[in-house]
Chain A
Amino acid sequence: MTEILTPSNLDEAEDAIRQSATGGHSLQPCGNRTRIHRHDPDAAPSRWLSLSSLDSILDIQPGDHTCTVQPGVSAAKLDDAMAPHGLELGILSPGGEDGTLGGLFLAPDLSLLRRRHGPPRDQVLGGKWILSDGTRVSTGSKVVKSVAGYDVTRLFLGSRGRLATCVELTLRLRQRPRELRAFRLGDPSTPAGLALGKARVSVFVRDSASTNDPIQGWALFEGAPPPGFEGQEVDLDEARRGLGSALGAFSSSSVRMHLPPGSDLPEHCPWTAWDPLGGQLALATFPDSPPSGCHILPVRESSPWLAPLAEACAPGAPPFGGEAP
Chain B
Amino acid sequence: MKRIIILLKLSVLGIVSAGLLGLLTVSSEAAREKYFDRSGRLIVIDKPAADLLRTYDTKNRPPEKSFPVPPPPFTEGIFPCSDCHEGMEPNLQRRTLEDMHTDILLNHAEGQRWCLDCHNPEDRDTLRLVSGEVIPFSESYRLCGQCHGDKYRDWRKGIHGKRTGFWNGDKEYLLCAHCHNPHDPRFKPIHPMPPPERPARGPH
Answer yes or no: are A and B bound together in one complex. no
